[in-house]
Amino acid sequence: MTHTRTATLVLGARPYGEAPLDVLITEGRIAAVGDAARAQAEQLHAEQPEGLRTLEAEGLIMLPGMVDLHTHLREPGREDAETVETGSRAAAKGGFTAVHAMANSSPVADSAGVVEQVHRLGRASGWTEVYPVGAVTVGLAGERLAELGAMAESSAQVRMFSDDGMCVHNPVLMRRALEYVKTVDGFIAQHAQEPMLTEGAQMNEGDVSAILGLPGWPAVAEESIIARDVLLAQHVGSRLHICHVSTAGSVEIIRWAKERGIDVTAEVTPHHLLLTDELVRGYDPVYKVNPPLRTSADVEALRAGLADGTIDIIGTDHAPHPTQAKECEWSAAAMGMTGLETALPVIIKTMIATGLMDWRRFAEVTSIMPARIYRHAHQGRPLEAGEPANLILIDPESTQVVDPAGHASKGRNSPFRGMELPGSVRATFLHGHPVVLDGELNTPLTHPTPETPAREVSA
């Protein structure tokens, strides 16, 4: 339980890719920045020489720890696919200091008991912060509201509710859910998929599905739900978050909604920023995902939407599956891709290397905005003295060939297998403790963090 070294002096890292600075991290916070960091570190060193770790970080970029609002950790129920422990390790390695575990576990996280279990497991693992997402409806069945109040008041303090995997398609139920979460200061994250329009759907409906003879998942099935829900959110004055936006039309609708002042936020996955339905031509189920990979025109629109702020955040939709769930016929295969350990390089490739955004914007979409959507007080904070030290160091110049066998996640279903991607996470600090060093898992955080996360008071 004792950490001999409790302070870290990071030398010469470039915050947000800007001018190099020294940063001193102690007691879970950024203690000092710049010349003050060195001075304080020297003082610490004099008092307790073995208590200070020095990290040469020349050429590395310092960013706030990434926050994923869309993670499937599979526990309880599918521990063969992932556990909170393995998923947390994957998160830390990928540069995430907080993840939000979707509710489609078994049993479904639709009660205080299940969300508290996931929350406890996350705290015990200590690699990243784990926040359970509560189900909107009992059993994700879309029929009646789950006990949102009980989950909100539980020790997990759930504020984000989603039936992800399923769409809350009943318009009356969706309206009530949007209204009800106002009473617990929460928000609804919608998996936008009109079920009747996507019965048996296997891939994006378009030129490729027509040739492959696979039932299509039309863009309109996503767009019609988003259009309905932004209007519902406006009508009842509630907060709505759209999961994994995948089409150009959805970007247009969200842009329109934001122009009208509707309180909607939106997310895009790394895979939807890079991959297209052309990859399905070989029928390799590693490319099967929901919503499906779309066209290059959609990819362009999603990138533009993320760059201009129409899309607020990156969500990985990390969805590990056991090998046999992908080693089968396309139609029988499970939907989903791993994403925690490839998110950063994919965003660099699609958004930074293309010049579409800078590192400030990178920090916004991966950390600041997701933390703000959840109203976390200690995630997504500025890289300034006094702030909580949830941060990462990345090497933007390195490249890696993706090898899922080396991933900390149990899932091997990475669609980026074999691709050469730019950038890598060198260190991840969770409450000032380096859970990742030199690009490898170090040790988990073992000293307790506050039982109930501090939260901003909502306006």
Interface with other proteins by CB under 8 A: which residues? 202, 205-207, 209-216, 218, 282-284, 324-325, 327-333
Residue 36 binds which entry of other proteins, Zn ion, none, CB below 5-8 Å type-dependent: none
267 binds Zn ion (CB under 5 A): no
| Total residues at interface with Zn ion (CB under 5 A) | 2
Closest separation between CB of residue 246 and other proteins, Å?
Answer: 17
Residue 83 binds which entry of Zn ion, other proteins, none, CB below 5-8 Å type-dependent: none
**204 with 293: CB under 8 angstroms?**
yes
Alpha-helical (H) ranges within 106-186 are: 112-125, 148-153, 171-182
**167 with 193: CB under 8 angstroms?**
yes
390 in a known ligand binding site: no
The interface mask with Zn ion, positions 186-205, x = CB under 5 A, is -----x--------------
119 in a known ligand binding site: no
Closest separation between CB of residue 124 and Zn ion, Å?
Answer: 27
Q: Which is nearer to other proteins, 213 or 261 (CB)?
A: 213
Closest separation between CB of residue 133 and Zn ion, Å?
Answer: 11
Closest separation between CB of residue 280 and other proteins, Å?
Answer: 9
317 in a known ligand binding site: yes
Residue burial 186-220, b: 16+ Cβ < 10 Å; e: rest: bbbbbbbbbeebbeebbbbbbebbeebebebbbbe
**92 with 428: CB under 8 angstroms?**
yes
Residue 164 binds which entry of other proteins, Zn ion, none, CB below 5-8 Å type-dependent: Zn ion
Give catalytic status of residue 317 as yes or no: yes
164 in a known ligand binding site: yes
244 in a known ligand binding site: yes
Instruction: Classify residue 309 as left (phi > 0), alpha (psi -120 to 50) or beta.
Output: left
Q: Which is nearer to Zn ion, 241 or 407 (CB)?
A: 241
104 in a known ligand binding site: yes
Q: Which is nearer to other proteins, 415 or 453 (CB)?
A: 415
Closest separation between CB of residue 87 and other proteins, Å?
Answer: 23
Hey, what's the torsion of the CAs at 296, 297, 303, 307, to 10 degrees?
A: 160
Distance, in Å, from the CA atom of 165 to the CA atom of 143, rounded to the nearest integer, reads: 15
Q: Which is nearer to other proteins, 200 or 406 (CB)?
A: 200
Q: Which is nearer to Zn ion, 191 or 410 (CB)?
A: 191
Question: Integer distance in angstroms from the first to the last C-alpha of the chain?
Answer: 39
Residue 210 binds which entry of other proteins, Zn ion, none, CB below 5-8 Å type-dependent: other proteins
222 binds Zn ion (CB under 5 A): no
Residue in the structure block whose two tokens are 């110049």: 397
Residue in the structure block whose two tokens are 């001999």: 4
Closest separation between CB of residue 305 and other proteins, Å?
Answer: 24
72 in a known ligand binding site: yes
Q: Which is nearer to other proteins, 254 or 325 (CB)?
A: 325
**268 with 306: CB under 8 angstroms?**
yes
E strand spans, 303-390: 313-314
Closest separation between CB of residue 437 and other proteins, Å?
Answer: 38
Closest separation between CB of residue 271 and Zn ion, Å?
Answer: 12
Residue 209 binds which entry of other proteins, Zn ion, none, CB below 5-8 Å type-dependent: other proteins
Would you give the DSSP letter of residue 292?
A: P
Of 119-178, binders to Zn ion (CB under 5 A) are 164
E strand spans, 18-103: 21-26, 29-33, 52-56, 61-64, 66-71, 96-101
Q: Which is nearer to other proteins, 189 or 203 (CB)?
A: 203
What sign has the CA pseudo-torsion 275, 281, 285, 291? positive
Distance, in Å, from the CA atom of 348 to the CA atom of 362, rounded to the nearest integer, reads: 9
321 in a known ligand binding site: yes
Distance, in Å, from the CA atom of 443 to the CA atom of 427, rounded to the nearest integer, reads: 12
Residue 191 binds which entry of other proteins, Zn ion, none, CB below 5-8 Å type-dependent: Zn ion
Longest dimension (CA), the chain: 71
Would you give the DSSP letter of residue 32?
A: E
The interface mask with Zn ion, positions 43-72, x = CB under 5 A, is ------------------------------
Question: Which residue from 130, 36, 58, 139 is spatially nearest to 91, judged by alpha carbons?
Answer: 130
Q: Which is nearer to other proteins, 165 or 453 (CB)?
A: 165
Distance, in Å, from the CA atom of 278 to the CA atom of 41, rounded to the nearest integer, reads: 54
Of these residues, 68, 229, 317, 395, which one is catalytic?
A: 317
298 in a known ligand binding site: no
Task: Give the length of the chain.
Answer: 459
Q: Which residue numbers belong to the known binding site for substrate?
A: 72-74, 104, 290, 321
> Which residues participate in catalysis according to the annotation?
317
Q: Which residue numbers belong to the known binding site for Zn(2+)?
A: 70, 72, 164, 191, 244, 317
Binding site for Zn ion (CB under 5 A): 164, 191
Q: Which residue numbers belong to the known binding site?
A: 70, 72-74, 104, 164, 191, 244, 290, 317, 321
